[in-house]
Amino acid sequence: MTTQSNAVPQPLESQRNAPAALSATRPLYWSIRRELWEHRTVYLAPLAAAAVVMFGFLISLIRLPHRMPAILALSPEKQREALVGPYEVAAGLIMGTAFIVGFYYCLDALYAERRDRSILFWKSLPVSDLTTVLSKASIPVILQLLTVAITVATQWIMLLLSTAVLVASGANVSSLWTQLSLFQMSLMLLYHLLTVHVLWYAPIYCWLLLVSAWSRRAVFVWAFLPPLAICVLEKLAFNTSHFVALLKYRFTGGPEAVTMTASGGFATINPMTHLTPGAFLISPGLWSGLALAAVFLAAAVRLRRYREPI
């Protein structure tokens, strides 16, 4: 005869091995990865711009050995302009491409999911509207970091190819390496993109996300119509152009863009002595813009919560 055991039953093995709760940042991480998977233009467009730069630069290398004697006969300032010019053009083209891609991405980010009705699927997942909007707002930041990496790699390839061509032709390469300080140029590029294209342009990107969440059609028109209406009303009512000046100040990059222009570009700035991050961080324009960006983001989150597919 057997007796039943009075021992308390132990927890089931499946209960002991239950998965831990997801980290608070895990949904945001995968949401960002989803955006990168779905929008390959974010990294393909800067790469395409770099490819165009390299193609043009390879053609110019044919004439470089013949141009070097004339360049070396110039004054040091003119030598710097001649040698550094292609590298600044490369940085400007890649940066401009990244800005345009970020602009159109934000304008389409929340509008596209309502247009193709995929918002119904994404809302069924355990991902909040705040996480979704923040993941989309972070793409311009990631885009600028990719721009730095692509631009620096492109400039170093350009320098190495120029050196190889000059060495093969027996020309002097010391002036090329003396005039080009790619380390300082890379620091300046990183600083410029983080301050201007990330922090200073934050209200622009967030305004585009707000329009993308609100508009039912003609999203591009609605992005420009309210600022244009304010400019026209101010001119008609008060005969002033303060809002136009404010928009121009915001789009041209603010105080850091003025510093670069006055110093003659990336190559002539010593990041350790000429840049003033302290003055930039305490500027009223920066913090008022970030506060406005936060308001736009909050409004975009609320709109996504209640907007239906188009």
List, for residues 2-26, the tens digit of each pLDDT value.
444 444 444 444 444 444 445 667 8
Which tokens sit at 48? 């395409």
pTM for this entry: 0.81
Cα–Cα distance, 36 to 33 (Å, whole number): 5
State the pLDDT at residue 172. Answer: 67
Neighbours of 172 (CB within 10 A): 11
Token pair 């934000």: residue: 106
How many C-beta neighbours within 10 Å does residue 69 have? 10
pLDDT > 70: what percent of the chain? 82
Quote the tokens at residue 196: 């201007």
Question: Sign of torsion, CA 162 163 169 170?
Answer: positive
* pLDDT band per the 50, 70, 90 thresholds, residue 120: confident
Ramachandran angles phi, psi of 62, nearest 5°: -65, -35
Instruction: Give 222's contacts (C-beta < 8 A, 6+ positions apart).
Output: 211, 214, 215
Looking at 89-93, 113-117, 280-284, which range is the least confident one? 280-284
CB-CB contact of 132 with 31 (8 Å): yes
What whole-number distance in Å separates Cα of residue 171 and Cα of residue 69? Answer: 8
Whole-number Cα distances in Å, 305 to 25, 102, 222, 298: 20, 23, 20, 11
193 secondary structure, DSSP code: I
Is the pLDDT higher at 89 or at 67?
89
Instruction: Give the closest residue to 155 by CA, choosing from 98, 93, 96.
Output: 93
Average pLDDT value for residue range 122-138: 89
268 contacts 76 by C-beta, under 8 angstroms: no
CB atoms under 10 Å from CB of 209, counted, come to: 27
φ, ψ of residue 61 to 5 degrees: the values are -65, -20
